Structure formats: C-alpha cells, structure tokens
Amino acid sequence: MENINTKPGNNISSDQWLHIMDELNIGAFTVNVQRQVSSMNLSAQALIGLKDTEAIGKDCREVFVGVPCLANCPFKGAGDASTDEPIIQIQDEDETAHLVTRMATPVFGPDYQVVGCMTILQDHSPIADLIDRIHYEERSLKIILDNLAVGIFTVDRGGRITFFNTEAEKISDFNRREILGQPCKAIFEGERAQEVCLLQDTIVDGISRNSRQGKMMTRDGVTIPIRANYMALRNEKGTVVGGLTTFHDLTLVHQLKQAMKDRYTFHDMIGKSPTMQHIFEMVNVVASTDATILIEGATGTGKDLLAKVIHSASRRSDKPFVKVNCAAIPDNLLESEMFGYVKGAFTGAEKDKTGRFQEADGGSIFLDEIGDLPLALQAKLLRVLEDREFYRLGSRRTIKVNVRIISASNRNLENLVKKRLFREDLYYRLNVFRIELPELKDRHVDLPILIGHILRRLSVTRGVRLPEVSERVMEILLNYNYPGNVRELENILEHALIICQEDTIQARHLPEYLQAYHAAHKSPPLRSPKQIDVSDLAERNTIISMLQQHNWHRSKTAKALDMDRTTLWRKIKKYGILR
C-alpha cells in the first residue's frame, strides 16, 4: 500500500492512517490513480452506508453519486463537476441525512509522486466537531490533524515528541516549538507516569489501549484530567516506528463529578508561591487528624474550598460535609438551624426538625463567617466543642454528636476578642490549628497559573474553545491588586470570555473598571523595551509589590523575598524596575 508522506523519513501507510481516523470516529477512504476506491475504514462505511466490499474497486464518482468532486482533487477530469464547498449532505443506510465535512489530501509514492488520494469525512452530529478552519491549499495530512478538535501528539520509538497539534497546545498550554523533541514525560508526571508507561507498552507490543483516564501536566505544572487513546505507528514494512496519542480534556467531567460527590483534592487549589506551598504542607498533615481548624482570610481567598479539601482528605470523607453560613441566617433562626427543635417548641413548630450539627454527625461541619455569630449562641457552641452534645430547642434531652468543626472568618477573631465581640474561651477552642489564606495581591507569582486554570475551567463549562490571552491583557491582569481576590479574578475572566467572540482576549473585553484602573495605575516602566515572558512579568510584579511594602528598602525586601541582596539587585536591573 502507498504511503502518506508528510516529509521525507516519516512514512506511514495509508492503512495506518485509516485506522487512526477510525480511532477518532472520522471516516476516510483512499482512491488510486485510476480513481478506484482502494480502501475504506469502518467510520466511512457507516457514513456512506456501504460495506468496503461494495465500494472497493469502484469509481469514486459512482460511490458518491451526484456529489461534485472537490476542486482540489488531484485526479478530476476536465468534464468533472467540482466545488470548493467542503460541506456536503449524504444519507446513511437508514436514509438518515448527515451534514459532513469533506477534505482531500494526496497520497504519495516512494518517489514522492502523487499515486492516490485520501478523502476525510467528518459527521457534524458527533461530539467531535472536525475543524474550525483549514487551508484547503495545504497538501499535508498533518494540517488536517492539526485542526481536529482533539489533542494529538506522536512520538518516535525513543518516546520523544515528533508532532503536537493545535488542540494539544491549547489543552497543555505548551507551545509546540518548546515541546517538539522533548521526551513525552515532560507533559506527564515524569517517566514513571502511568500515561508514559501505556504509550511505551503500546510501542513495544503494537496493541492499542483505548479510553484510558489519566492526568496531564500543563506548562505551569497544573494537573488536568484527560481521557486518552494510545496506538502504535508503523511504516510501510509494518515496523513500529513510534506511537500516537489522542486525548480529551476531562476538566468539565471532573467538575461534574466533584459537584455530585462534593469531594475536592489539593489539585483544586492552585498555587506555587511559597506561602501556598506551606499551607498545602500544613493541610496535608492536619487533614488526617480530627483537630479543630480555624481558617482566616479576606473575602474571596478560597476559605470554602480549603474547608472542602480538608474534609475530602480526612478519614471522614465518606461522611457528610455540612456548611453553615453564620452571616446569611437571621440571628433569631440561627439556633434552630444549627441545633434543631422539637415539635411545639414555638409557634409554627409542627414537627421535629434536625439541626445542622446532627446532620453532620460522623462528618465535618463548616461554620463560615463565624465572626458574625451572636454572643448568646457562642456559649452554646462552646458546649458542643467541649462536650460534643447539645439540646434541641424545646427539648430537655441532650443529643451527642461526633463532628469535626472547621470554622472560617474574614474578620480577625483575635481583634474581635479584644473588642469583646467574640468570646475568648470560644476563640481558643476554635483556634487549635489556624490557617491564614493570603490575599491575591500577596501572591502575584500564582497569577499566571491561576489565570490559565480558571480560563480552562470556564471554557469547558461554557463549551467554547480556550482563547489566547494578549500580552496587554496579561499585563493588566498581573498589575491589578484584586480586592475581591480569586473570586474577583474569576468574575473578570468570565466577563472577558462572554464578551470575547474571537480567538484572543483583548483589553476591550475586560470590565470597564479594570481598564480604567490600569490607565490610572500603570506599573513602573521597563528600562528596556525588550519583552519578558509571563512568568518573569509575574516575578517582576512581586518584587515591585514587596519593594513598595518596604518603602523601597532593598535589604528588608530581599529578606521578605528570601533572597540575598545581590540577587535582588540583579533582578531589579534585569526587569528595569525604576522607582
């Protein structure tokens, strides 16, 4: 069989390409120089409504009766009707109409002469939409693969990446120029990762491994869930010359499972700054205990998510996680909500009601905004902490519960104690293990990976392609202080994603207040117009922020950044930071 040759030294048989297309649910068939159908994959047979035995050997114009040839077909004659329209309508064996995208690419022989043609058929009805755009004048099959809405990469027998399509770039955030030639472990969790082993095994034994769930590492080190297929690539002699992986981003599926199970992991909290890494280390230790935890931090820093992560990582993870927002429930209803009541306890109490503490028995209860808890109710909460028992309203019988208490506040409880707005004894009971979440302005180094993570999650939730972020937009985002923290960042990116109808988010897609802020608060200018990458820009902004916090005192700033003065001076010079 002839080879589809994309460049010298990279020969893969057309039968192999037909099999690859079957893996992607894409119909494909080949035609020889006599315009006879020479092979046809299963997906094409299903679309056309013919078995391969009924089509092979027949003139392609007889197979597609009444359908004009593509204008770029290498074998069409002078009298053939042709069209530039890639969308056609065909009927399957059940006479069901299908809108199909049709493309053609030449098949080359050993001497690189055209000896046939491969036609690609993609049904618009399946989940995998074929192509956003394609240049029909291109003659390489890699161009077709590059435009499929599925991540694809190939490796040689040594496991080094030889092809990386556009969708793979979008999912992984790697640019193909920096990943080509690298070992595939670079996009997974090291050479011992399950995904690397599956691909290596496939290259060794030639057996495909389909629909395997795994994980991929983005350029910023963020883990994303994927579903992948692995297959061996062979040359015209049948020798395995490498492997091919197709993969889908399962971020949306992961989110849905989380929502259904209400289970979260450390991967759901993003942060590479030293502060966040220290928090992850502490949480990893304390989660397995039953210690009472107090989480403090400004609004929007992720206290709710951290509480869920702690519960999911504990031995109580299979038991209830119950949240009580102390600031959202009226004071006169808080006690009955938290502890329940018995029938007849007050007017309207027509039956017994179970409280939140009883609902959480065996699991964890999360008392959010506990600083707003009324003083009268604080005494009753103290008893629950000390004795793990309470009275329901209107009852004289105590109820014992086995719960872990996680509390959170955006107000400093120690200051509230000093102002006599919070009981000191209750504060010390809650403050067994305290975690303070930093504001986003204090962790600028995390902004690039947070932006990428949030955009990816929002894109899959809304069912849109992941857009690029322009350099100007990234500069605006990295130079804003985010008084609303991560929650505000999410709102900004969602706004931009709704407004943007293009491939790249531009400054005009951002909320107006953010554009106005950037115009009024521009960061110190660069001494040199030389461009710096996103990670460098994040470090530059962190250094500027710390210099401003310490009144531009370099020794204090270096100490706060955990670097020596010489290193700080070098970076100030490198980034052209001017006071």
Q: What is the pLDDT of residues 249-262, one digit of tens each?
A: 877 555 545 544 45
**Parallel, antiparallel or unpaired: strands 114-123 and 151-156:** unpaired
Q: CA separation (Å) from 397 to 277, 342, 394, 400?
A: 46, 10, 9, 10
Task: Please say whether the beta carbons of 226 and 213 come within 8 A.
Answer: yes
Band of pLDDT at residue 550, cut at 50, 70 and 90: confident
Q: State how far the Cα of 360 lies from the Cα of 337, in Å rounded to an integer.
A: 12
pLDDT of residue 540: 79
Task: Please say whether the beta carbons of 437 and 296 come within 8 A.
Answer: yes
The answer to pTM > 0.75 is: no
Please write the tens of the pLDDT for every residue from 226-238: 888 998 888 777 7
* Residue closest to 311 by CA, chosen among 410, 450, 405, 194: 405
pLDDT of residue 275: 86
Q: State how far the Cα of 66 lies from the Cα of 91, in Å rounded to an integer.
A: 12
Task: Please say whether the beta carbons of 239 and 260 come within 8 A.
Answer: no
Query: In this model, does residue 524 exceed pLDDT 60?
Result: no
- Compute the radius of gyration of the chain from its Cα atoms: 31
Beta bridge partners of 240: 234
Query: In this model, does residue 11 exceed pLDDT 60?
Result: no
Task: Please say whether the beta carbons of 326 and 419 come within 8 A.
Answer: no
Query: What average pLDDT score do residues 417-427 get?
Result: 93
Look at 436 and 501; give whichever has higher pLDDT. Answer: 436
Look at 524 and 507; give whichever has higher pLDDT. Answer: 507
Rounded to the nearest integer, the mean pLDDT of the chain is 79
Query: In this model, does residue 368 exceed pLDDT 90?
Result: yes
**Matching residue, tokens 């530039």:** 84
Q: State how far the Cα of 430 lies from the Cα of 382, in Å rounded to an integer.
A: 9
Ordered domains of the chain (ranges, CATH): 3-134 (3.30.450.20), 151-249 (3.30.450.20), 262-436 (3.40.50.300), 441-575 (1.10.8.60)
Please write the tens of the pLDDT for every residue from 106-164: 777 766 677 888 887 776 554 333 322 223 333 456 666 777 778 889 888 888 888 88
Query: In this model, does residue 500 exceed pLDDT 70?
Result: yes
Question: Which long-range contacts (C-beta less than 8 Å, at least 24 apart) are formed by 108-112?
Answer: 108/2, 108/3, 108/4, 108/5, 109/2, 109/3, 110/3, 112/5, 112/8
